[in-house]
Amino acid sequence: MSPHELVVARIRGEYREMPGLRLTFAQACRLWQIDPDECELVLHVLLEEQFLARTADGAFVALPTPRARVVPVKAAPRSAVTGSASVCATPRTR
């Protein structure tokens, strides 16, 4: 990964670790200790990916990520899963 890609990945990770994180441009530059030109590029990438959005007052926030639909799985009867007792109890040989 290029240094630029590493910064993008780091910022994406920090937004995931801190739900509700809301930063102005100046705060983002200070938090990630990057110069304004690089910060602008990185934030632009994340906006284009639709990972981030910009609020009416100019703050950067993470967009919600779609969650996979969870389909409940019905458990199989115990005998079908484990089989008979002889399958589980294997004699030891030396």
Residue ranges of domains in the chain: 3-62
- pTM for the predicted model, two decimal places: 0.67
The encoded tokens of residue 85 equal 């007792």
CB neighbour list of residue 35: distance below 8 Å, 6 or more residues apart: 29
What would the pLDDT profile of 41-76 be if each residue is shown by its tens digit?
A: 999 999 999 999 999 999 999 998 765 455 666 766
What's residue 71's pLDDT? 60
C-beta separation of 24 from 58 below 8 A:
yes
Q: In what order do the strands lie in the sheet containing 52-54?
A: 22-23, 60-62, 52-54
CATH classification for the domain delimited by 3-62, as one of 1.10.10.10, 1.10.357.10, 3.20.20.80, 1.10.287.1040: 1.10.10.10
C-beta separation of 62 from 13 below 8 A:
no
